[in-house]
Structure 1
Amino acid sequence: MRQESWSRPQVDLEVAEGDRFDFDEALLPDDSWEPTAADGDYEVAEILRHRDRRSARQGRILREFEVRWVGYSEPTWVAEENMNCPALLADYQDRLKAQGRYAVMQADDESA
């Protein structure tokens, strides 16, 4: 036996312009959409390389990235879970893929 599809009830609400409430405007400060650099925040300029190491305590592989920071000359190693720059991580992964393809092409040329 086939059940007929149900239609949802619809109600049109009429709200006067003066009674409307803009939550964003009322509750958020004017500059809330602009990123702010709080004390202790650093901006990643470039991801240089990565390394994988085994955690002695947890026994799992941990990935770290060597990053160069905006305004600093010395790079540092940062754990993957502390990286907050998805666009730079995606660019770095794309660079790794491109390098891998280039290495495969070179190996193929040498074997021919």
Structure 2
Amino acid sequence: MEWLARFKDHATGAYYKWFRMLTLGWSDGHTFLPLDFTLLSSVKAGLTGMNPGIDKRSCGYKRRKEAFHSAPHLVSELLDRAIASGVSAAYVLMDSWFARVVLATT
């Protein structure tokens, strides 16, 4: 499986083979609507690499390449894509583990 990496579960101290997912969503305080997401992997802790036969012009290649950026960098990209799509919000909220970024209206 491409991009599979080892990540540490800080609650238990154990390592797992998995992907991290960063989700951008919109909320009014009661509802959460996912708008965009990106999978995160790791170059250092990676167990598998990228398939070299992927067409570099495809969206899939761009998503694969994006997975190796840092979470703070990807947050700004997710926000830029949301703003370019016409989504507006009064606040941007993030959890401390960079699993969810929420655009809030109130």
| Shorter-chain TM band | under 0.3
TM-score normalized by the length of structure 2: 0.26
Structure having the larger proportion of residues in strand: 2
Structure having the larger proportion of residues in helix: 1
Higher RCO structure, 1 or 2 (CA under 8 Å, sep 6+): 2
TM-score normalized by the length of structure 1: 0.25
The structure having more radius of gyration, on CA atoms, is 1
